[in-house]
Amino acid sequence: GQQLNQSPQSMFIQEGEDVSMNCTSSSIFNTWLWYKQDPGEGPVLLIALYKAGELTSNGRLTAQFGITRKDSFLNISASIPSDVGIYFCAGPERETSGSRLTFGEGTQLTVNP
Amino acid sequence: DTGVSQNPRHKITKRGQNVTFRCDPISEHNRLYWYRQTLGQGPEFLTYFQNEAQLEKSRLLSDRFSAERPKGSFSTLEIQRTEQGDSAMYLCASSLAYIRGGGYTEAFFGQGTRLTVV
């Protein structure tokens, strides 16, 4: 099946620093999703990307859909303590609406005040 | 409607016991998904329903697992004869099946049920 590889696995940064994480796939995805999961909670969608090369922002978050359709990155600018959590990339297995998702293993972000 | 609701939030059970979890999706969503998440991993797909029909099951869903959505609204996931390897967070998500113009329809996740088998 499809696999998503995220790096780094974990990051420890100081408040105010910028963060970059990425996700690569063994196969093409036509939609890329970035989720955040807080401890004891379910994942929450941050950004959805639909076109190769697309760059999309959501507040301090920016994500890009790689032109090969096999990678994506997420940047967080001026990190704050509430950015702490696990960030997952994900993609629908098929192009039909409401398709099941394949998730990466996550990047654990720790922000030191 | 405040989102996807899962009950219980936590369940501790002895090995060999049966457990059942409940998921109440967002009311207008006709698709409902179950995922399993173990520590340090991303969620893994188990099964999904469109209305009351179970349309797909992962090979992760062994014979001890059964899911139902009898009236196309809430869903239950039952695990029979639990094993220690069943310890995980069980996540439910819901979405619309289709949107005008096509494309991906966002899945909204519940808070999950954390199962510990001792």
- Residue-wise pLDDT for A59-87, tens only, equals 999 999 999 999 999 999 999 999 999 99
Cα angle at A44 between A30 and A46, to 5 degrees?
Answer: 55
Burial class (CB in 10 A: 0-12, 13-18, 19+), B79: buried
**pLDDT average, residue stretch B65-90:** 96
**pLDDT average, residue stretch B27-36:** 94
pLDDT at A95: 60
Contact between A97 and B105 using a beta-carbon 8 Å cutoff: yes
pLDDT at A7: 96
pLDDT tens digits, A3-47: 899 999 999 999 999 999 999 998 898 889 999 999 889 999 999
B contact test, residue of A30, A99, A105, A107 with most B CBs within 10 A: A99
pLDDT > 60? residue B118: yes
Contact between B111 and A40 using a beta-carbon 8 Å cutoff: yes
pLDDT at B102: 65
Rounded to an integer, what distance in angstroms lies between the CA atom of residue B108 and that of residue A83? 20
pLDDT > 70? residue B100: no
If DSSP states are collapsed to H, E and C, what string results for A12-38? EEECCCCEEEEEEECCCCCCEEEEEEC
**pLDDT average, residue stretch B109-113:** 96
Tell me the residues of chain A between 3 and 32 that have a Cβ less than 8 Å away from chain B.
4, 31
pLDDT at B103: 67
Q: Are A111 and A84 in contact (CB under 8 A)?
A: yes
Rounded to an integer, what distance in angstroms lies between the CA atom of residue B64 and that of residue B82? 8
Q: What is the DSSP code (8-state) at residue B19?
A: E
**pLDDT average, residue stretch B10-22:** 98
Residue of B nearest to A38 (CA): B111
Instruction: Tell me which chain A residues have a C-beta less than 8 angstroms from the C-beta of B42.
Output: 4, 88, 90, 103-106
Considering only CB atoms, B98 lies closest to which of A4, A43, A97, namely A97
Residue A96 confidence class, pLDDT cut points 50, 70, 90: low
Rounded to an integer, what distance in angstroms lies between the CA atom of residue B99 and that of residue B49? 17
**pLDDT average, residue stretch B81-110:** 87
Chain B closest-CA separation from residue A40 CA (Å)? 7
